[in-house]
Amino acid sequence: MLILYTCALVLVLVLGAPWWLFRMATSGKYREGLTERLGFVPQRIRHALNKKNLVWVHAVSVGEVLAAGRLIEELELRLSGVMDSPAQTSWRLMISTTTRTGQALARQRFGAERVFYFPLDFGWAVRAWLRALRPRMLVLVETEFWPRLLHECRRAAIPVAVVNARISDRSWPRYRRFVWIWQPLLRNLALVQAQSELDAERLRALGGMHVQVGGNLKYDVRVLRPAPVAALLQEHLPPATPVLVCGSTLAGEEELLLDARPPDVVTVLAPRHPERFGEVAELLRRRGERWVRRSEWTEAPAAIEPGFVFLLDSIGELASLYSLACAAFVGGSLVPAGGHNPLEAAQFGVPVVTGSSYENFRGIVEKLLEHDAIRIVQPGELKAALAKMLACEAESQAMGARAREVFESEAGATERAVQALFELIAARSAQSGVQP
């Protein structure tokens, strides 16, 4: 099975090579971290490995890094907190990501010396990282099931745990079609904490043996240290000016939002992918909008007048800016992309509008819908929905309050995941003679 899988992976890479090379040459998107993806362990990582018991955590992109951030901090603190003998080695969590945006955020939050790019799923690349890290455990965030990685961990007797696990509606038919591939791999997982009972049922059907419902880590993502740009922007907003924050937008959505917004609001426009910042800036220029670019504006802050568009061309600051909003739109939902996380706005009691493509966050959106705490709209309904929200009427304010109540009531997944992981690490460490 692994031979066939490897051959298929090689074939995909060979056939896609012209496109990959073109993207590397024109955008640099896939050039960064290429050596790490191929199994080269840089010196900055090797320096961090000395006398450490390691847990390797893999978080694909920005959403997973944000979801796992508190878990990483609390698990490392708990592991290190019980080490009372100076003769014993300490514990450290190392973090890998797949995307460039996830890498940037993880390095910013945890330091470059403990963050690296996830290797391609070839035996030599995976084994190189496993030999260098020698992790006591691998923790996968959400559903990053790579066959070669799981196989090599099993060969090396490295337990694999999955937190915040989910099987989306879109991917479920594909998993079910190839259940014969997944069963021998997933039955060896040491722990699976699913987001919901439906996810747990699907994971058990695919062969998972140690599956439990842990809840969604995203309900525990809170802005504890607001980005400085939020306070700076608030200082330069005219009093009582409504703010609309449009987060994680994709191609085709920005123009719809610009056409639908009321003329007297300040609009924060935050494209999902950094490589599109220039494209959206060009759109604003072409339309003759009054706008500023965050990276330039912060160098010489000036008043932001009603009708202005604030282009957020940065990573990791969107959640803080939701705190300024009278209303929020969550992108990736007016186009068929599966949507993004509405909880980033809900934590501030901000009423949220999103499109009908939200399958990647179905559990969260349906929970908000149960409490009348979000609005789902089609493109033609967007203008009226935003106008009503931004009027800051009692109805929209109450909807935002209900969203915050849902956010608070569903918290606790991080604590459950930390406890389960700690117990598993303790049990495995006791077997090998290492005291956690």
| Alpha-carbon 21 to chain mean position | 26
Tell me the Ramachandran region of residue 371: left when phi exceeds 0, alpha when psi lies from -120 to 50, beta otherwise. alpha
**Distinct helix (H) and strand (E) counts, the chain:** 20, 14
Beta strands in 250-380 (DSSP E): 266-271, 291-293, 309-311, 327-330, 352-354, 375-376
Q: What is the rounded distance in angstroms from the CA atom of residue 25 to the CA atom of residue 432?
A: 47
- Give Dmax (Cα) for the chain: 67
Q: Report the first-to-last Cα separation within the chain, whole angstroms.
A: 36
Determine the angle formed by the axes of helices 253-260 and 277-287, rounding to 10 degrees: 40
The residues annotated with a catalytic role in the active site are 64
Measure the CA angle with vertex 62, ends 56 and 63; round to 5°: 95
DSSP string, 158-218: --EEEEEE---TTTHHHHHHTHHHHHHHHTT-SEEEESSHHHHHHHHHTT-SSEEE---GG
Q: What is the rounded distance in angstroms from the CA atom of residue 281 to the CA atom of residue 254?
A: 11
The CA distances from residue 169 to 47, 123, 202, in Å, are: 42, 30, 10
| Residues β-bridged to residue 93 | 55
